[in-house]
Amino acid sequence: MVPAFNERSRVASVLAAVGALRLPERPRMIVVDDGSSDGTAEVAKRAGAQVVSHRVNLGKGAALLTGVEAAVATGADLVVVMDADGQHDPSDLPLLLEPLKAGRADLVLGYRQFTSAMPPAMRFGNTLLSGIFAALFGLRVRDTQCGFRALTAEACRSLRWTAIDYAVETEMLVHAARRRLRVVEVPIATVYLDRHKGTTAIDGLRILASMLRWRLD
């Protein structure tokens, strides 16, 4: 499932790439239009996706929750979440599904390798937040902020989050650590089509504050 906010220019190509994958079963594509004003919903519908729309922009975490609930409600056993802006390579999707299908994981995380494609500030921020997360919650992962993930329907029910912003990826991992879910990481392509997009320094501070609050809960 794909959360999307004003991604008219890219969401169709993302969906087309997913649809072109040679998978044993044709994937059901769900797009959550998070209050877009640019016609994202109409483009996604024409590309063959089921579209669930928010009347106003609620944030990535809220869009993910809406989409995951919709996927589970329609009978999905496995759910993949990815961004709508083309900064996740759909060809990596089978890598995320394999540990779930093999029964080795409940939650599979993509991790971006630190290449020149990733802005230095992003590399520093991801390394810092991942290290602090490991110290606070005892689960060591390489890239806590990557949104390209796959999980079982049971994990979806277990990982209900309240974060509506970019802290959602971290809160998912907090619940996974506390519920002792099996977490597996797989390397994915590092793509930055828009170097200004993604988690900002302010977002990072908010995520850090949220981590400290969750640790005290």
**Model confidence over 144-180: pLDDT tens digits?**
989 999 999 999 999 989 999 989 999 999 999 999 9
Q: How many CA atoms within 13 Å lie on the side-chain side of 53? A: 13
Specify the pLDDT at position 122: 73
Lookup: tokens for 87: 């900064």
For the cut 90, the answer to whether the pLDDT of residue 114 exceeds it is no
For the cut 70, the answer to whether the pLDDT of residue 204 exceeds it is yes
Confidence tier at 192 by pLDDT (50, 70, 90) = low
Q: Exposed, middle or buried: residue 25 (CB in 10 Å: 0-12, 13-18, 19+)?
A: exposed
Q: What is this structure's pTM?
A: 0.88
Confidence tier at 119 by pLDDT (50, 70, 90) = low
Specify the pLDDT at position 199: 63
Q: What is the spatial distance between Cα 98 and Cα 41, in angstroms, rounded to a whole number?
A: 30
CATH 3.90.550.10 assigned to domain 2-216? The reply is yes
Neighbouring-strand partners of residue 51: 31
